[in-house]
């Protein structure tokens, strides 16, 4: 694992910043730490803006699908509605249950929120636009996104509420089950690329459009679809949103959270959705590859938002599965299909029947 100092130097901003800092007489290590802090703040704000935008976008899409307007009050078509919502949630009283498990209850939203952001350390936003290019990039993402389930379980347990507990338990069962088909789908990609580094995965798909992994017939599309299904479940969205099924569990694990703690869960959920969509874009849709007249980060965002849009369409169209059907679907359908697909991909790779 290389510590990505070199990556930092790619950005003019950081070159300029380190120049300024060095002129003030800071040591090289301090300069590095400050640069990373600045980078962290930039990533954090960018992701928060994306999450807020996604909330607004989802509301708009849902509204238009249902022939409503959606938010219309703040700005053009209510574009800063979610910012106002966030401000409102910040001001709200933090109502806490007296019988909560104090430590667990407090840390659950924090862990959920942080875990959602962690994945973006290795996310390739564009050409040379990556915080750190780990050689285990995708494995790292799989590892940190699973933190979310711990947070949801903690929220369910710490709230001391039966609905929340049911939500937390459902979430644990669901995320653990869907992790397997998700990883199996990703493995087909890794199998072909031969590397877990996110940059390698993207560069291996460069060139013309049929180098994108989704067009690697016959297993590419299957892997994409199974990944998308598993990712929808990972992100706790309809038809797999049983941890917070409003009609059954009222709000599930976050039933006892209010104010900013609720907002943290809420934003984390949308960032998770963006994460799985960005992964889908990176792994299957060529990442930031595209015609060069559009900057690479724009390609990445376009593809990601395309996948997000698909997930939103799914969410607002389909009913919700039941918890046991969800498990059955994962173990009896998705896991066999993804593993068969993986074996097929391995055979094809070994035999060399691919371009």
Per-residue string for binding with another protein, 18-57, x by CB under 8 A? ----------------------------------------
Residue 317 in contact with another protein, rule: CB under 8 A: yes
Angle, vertex CA 244, rays to CA 239 and CA 249, nearest 5: 115
Contacts of another protein in 204-243 (CB under 8 A): 238-239, 241-242
Between the alpha carbon of residue 355 and those of residues 134, 153, 239, the distances in Å are 27, 44, 36
**Position among 332, 340, 343, 354 found at the interface with another protein (CB under 8 A):** 332
**Position among 44, 49, 318, 354 found at the interface with another protein (CB under 8 A):** 318
- Which span (25-33, 87-95, 207-215, 245-253) binds another protein, by CB under 8 A? 245-253
Residues 17-55 as b or e (16 or more Cβ within 10 Å = b): bbeebeeeeeeeeebbeebbeebeeebeeebbebbbbbb
Q: How many residues of this chain bind another protein (CB under 8 A)? A: 40
**Position among 43, 65, 190, 191 found at the interface with another protein (CB under 8 A):** 65
Residue 83 in contact with another protein, rule: CB under 8 A: no
**Position among 61, 190, 191, 344 found at the interface with another protein (CB under 8 A):** 61
Residue 99 in contact with another protein, rule: CB under 8 A: no
Nearest-10 crossing angle of helices 259-284, 296-315 = 110
Residue 67 in contact with another protein, rule: CB under 8 A: yes
Tokens describing residue 96 = 């806490």
Tokens describing residue 227 = 């990944």
Least distance to another protein, CB of residue 159, Å: 14
Radius of gyration for the chain, computed over Cα atoms and rounded to the nearest angstrom: 21
Residue 66 in contact with another protein, rule: CB under 8 A: yes
| Region for residue 154 given its phi and psi (left: phi exceeds 0; alpha: psi -120 to 50; beta: otherwise) | alpha
Helix (H, G, I), strand (E, B) or coil at 126: strand
**Position among 163, 192, 219, 270 found at the interface with another protein (CB under 8 A):** 163
Whole-number Å distance between alpha carbons of 47 and 60: 19
- Which span (123-131, 146-154, 162-170, 284-292) binds another protein, by CB under 8 A? 162-170
**Position among 20, 333, 343, 347 found at the interface with another protein (CB under 8 A):** 333
Helix (H, G, I), strand (E, B) or coil at 129: strand
Residue 188 in contact with another protein, rule: CB under 8 A: no
Short-list 252, 239, 247, 104, CA closest to 166: 252
**Position among 32, 43, 63, 129 found at the interface with another protein (CB under 8 A):** 63
Residue 324 in contact with another protein, rule: CB under 8 A: yes
Residue 328 in contact with another protein, rule: CB under 8 A: yes
**Position among 16, 20, 44, 68 found at the interface with another protein (CB under 8 A):** 68
Kindly give, in sequence order, each residue whose CB lies less than 8 Å from that of residue 163, ignoring residues fewer than 6 positions away.
249, 250, 251, 252, 255
Partnered with residue 126 across adjacent β-strands are 129
Whole-number Å distance between alpha carbons of 76 and 276: 29
* Chain residues in the site for another protein (CB under 8 A): 61-69, 72, 162-163, 166, 170, 238-239, 241-242, 245-250, 313-314, 316-325, 328-329, 332-333
């Amino acid at each position: 694992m290389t510590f990505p100092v070199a990556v930092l130097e790619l950005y003019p901003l950081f070159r300029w910043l380190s120049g300024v800092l060095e002129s003030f007489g800071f040591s090289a290590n301090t300069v590095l730490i400050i640069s990373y802090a600045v980078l962290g703040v930039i990533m954090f704000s960018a992701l928060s803006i994306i999450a807020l935008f996604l909330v607004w976008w989802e509301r708009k899409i849902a509204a238009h699908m249902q022939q409503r307007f959606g938010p219309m009050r703040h700005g053009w078509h209510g574009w800063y509605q979610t910012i106002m919502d966030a401000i409102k949630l910040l001001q709200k009283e933090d109502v806490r249950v007296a019988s909560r498990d104090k430590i667990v209850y407090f840390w659950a939203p924090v862990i959920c929120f942080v875990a959602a952001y962690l994945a973006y350390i290795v996310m390739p936003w564009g050409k040379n636009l990556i915080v750190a290019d780990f050689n285990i990039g995708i494995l790292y993402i799989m590892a940190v996104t699973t933190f979310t389930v711990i947070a949801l379980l903690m929220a369910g347990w710490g709230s001391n509420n039966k609905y929340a507990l049911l939500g937390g338990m459902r979430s644990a069962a669901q995320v653990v089950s869907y992790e397997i088909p998700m990883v199996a789908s990703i493995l087909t990609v890794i199998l072909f690329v031969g590397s877990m580094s996110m940059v390698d995965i993207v560069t291996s798909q460069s060139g013309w459009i049929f180098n994108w992994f989704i067009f690697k017939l016959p297993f590419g599309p299957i892997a994409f679809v199974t990944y998308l299904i598993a990712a929808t479940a990972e992100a706790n969205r309809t038809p797999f949103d049983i941890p917070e099924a409003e009609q059954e569990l009222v709000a599930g694990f976050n039933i006892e959270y209010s104010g900013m703690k609720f907002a943290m869960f809420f934003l984390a959920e949308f960032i998770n959705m963006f994460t799985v969509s960005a992964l889908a874009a990176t792994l299957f849709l060529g990442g930031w590859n595209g015609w060069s007249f559009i900057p690479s980060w724009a390609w990445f965002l376009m593809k990601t938002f395309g996948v997000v849009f698909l997930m939103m369409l799914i969410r607002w169209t389909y009913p919700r599965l039941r918890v046991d059907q969800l498990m059955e679907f994962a173990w009896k359908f998705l896991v066999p299909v993804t593993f068969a697909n993986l074996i097929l991909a391995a055979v094809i790779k070994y035999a060399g029947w691919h371009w």
